[in-house]
Amino acid sequence: MKFGDIIQGWYEKNHRQLPWRSTTDPYAIWISEVILQQTRVDQGEDYYLRFLREFPGLKALAEASEQEVLKCWQGLGYYSRARNLHRAAQEIQASGRDSLPDTYKKLLLMPGVGPYTAAAIASIAYGEAQAAVDGNVARVLARLHGVEEAVNSPAGMRIIQQLADSLMEESAGGEQGSTRESAARKGQKFSSGAGIHPGLHNQAMMEFGALVCLPRSPLCKSCPLQSYCQAYALDCVGELPRKRPSRKPLKRWLYFYVFTHENKVIIKKNGKGIWQSLYTFPVVECEQEQSETAIYDEIFLGLLHRIEDSENSQVNEPLPFERDIRLGEISESFLHQLSHRTLHARFVRVELNPLPFRLEENYMEIPLAEVERYPLPRLMERYMKIAKF
């Protein structure tokens, strides 16, 4: 039996019923693929459904504000992906189109769309024979073919992509991509005789890696591809795929100051960085953990001077040391793990009378009750759930 027949048969009997698998709408597939790139399926499903409720199509997404898009994305992390979705929708609408590009090469020109996302959309929505390689697929192919190269190295990625392309060609029956593209543009379904639809092939490969060829404790004994698997034959399944070690995340300590007065609070819109365009309380980042004395004294006063627009302040406005300042409790430490940083965050309550009359650019004073209307980092969201103002 051919590989394609085995993987198709397994998929049809065992795949999970997920909402994005019941559509060939390129927009919906695009949204699902971006959400699922760094999110588990059980978490991503709710975000996917919510995003489509808020922005059911390209027009709705393009016409939304960045703040609305980021707020809907809140909790998923990797906010640059939400900004790229928004920018891509705006560019498509500005070009006069009302749908996503319909070929792999054109999809690659969209902001934030790389080879994997373009291949997934092109194959599932348009039937174009492009192999989509995510972590699950790379693991399956590395074990099946006994790939010794690290799959996250340039050489390893080339090998895995070549293997994926070869399997796609075999499973899809060898039909040329141009024929598929033409059929897709005419609204025709893919047909290649005994071949498998490219989108079905890609989804079967990804699902197989997610449910059978697991990173740890793969289900080798019941695996329908066991006879094809070099890693199983050589008893080295646990050693593959090989990966280059990633850099150790940098440790950083963040101190957020919650400046409040008469049910108002100061927040800041962030510029470039991990939380670009998101809102936080004024914050100081340190390379080492700080003592409570430093948190209450020099760090606090330095930040207070920084958020005030001293150049445009009135002469009769009180200086920081002339204010009524009540330093409150310091929260417990919140651990937040990013791919390249380990953040330890604490929140400091400060009752400040009065709040600054003039604020530096990007800082703003808002009612406390309105904080959660703004797009916030997950770290802030966690704090807000337990904070009692």
What average pLDDT score do residues 236-256 get? 94
Give me the residues paired with residue 264 across strands: 261, 367
Using pLDDT thresholds of 50, 70 and 90, give the confidence band for residue 184. Answer: very low
Residue 155's identity, in one-letter code, is: A
> Chain-centre distance of CA 379, in angstroms?
16
Residue 190's identity, in one-letter code, is: F
**Predicted pLDDT at 309:** 63
The residue ranking higher by pLDDT, 213 or 384, is: 213
Torsions phi, psi of 31, nearest 5? -60, -45
- Residue 182 Cα distances to 188, 209, 372, angstroms: 9, 31, 48
Percent of the chain scoring above 90 in pLDDT:
72
Over residues 58-84, the pLDDT tens digits come to 999 999 999 999 999 999 988 999 999
Q: Which domains does the chain have, with CATH numbers?
A: 3-239 (1.10.340.30), 250-386 (3.90.79.10)
DSSP, res 331: P
Half-sphere exposure of 172 (CA within 13 A, CB side): 27
273: left (phi over 0), alpha (psi -120 to 50) or beta: left
Give me the residues paired with residue 334 across strands: 345
- Contact (CB, 8 A) for 254 and 284: yes
**Predicted pLDDT at 77:** 87
Question: Which residue numbers are catalytic?
Answer: 33
**Predicted pLDDT at 388:** 74
The residue ranking higher by pLDDT, 316 or 290, is: 290
**Whole-number mean pLDDT of the chain?**
89
**Predicted pLDDT at 180:** 40
**Predicted pLDDT at 185:** 34
Q: How far apart are CA 89 and CA 95, in angstroms?
A: 10
DSSP letters for 192-213: -TTPPPHHHHHHHHHHHHHHTS
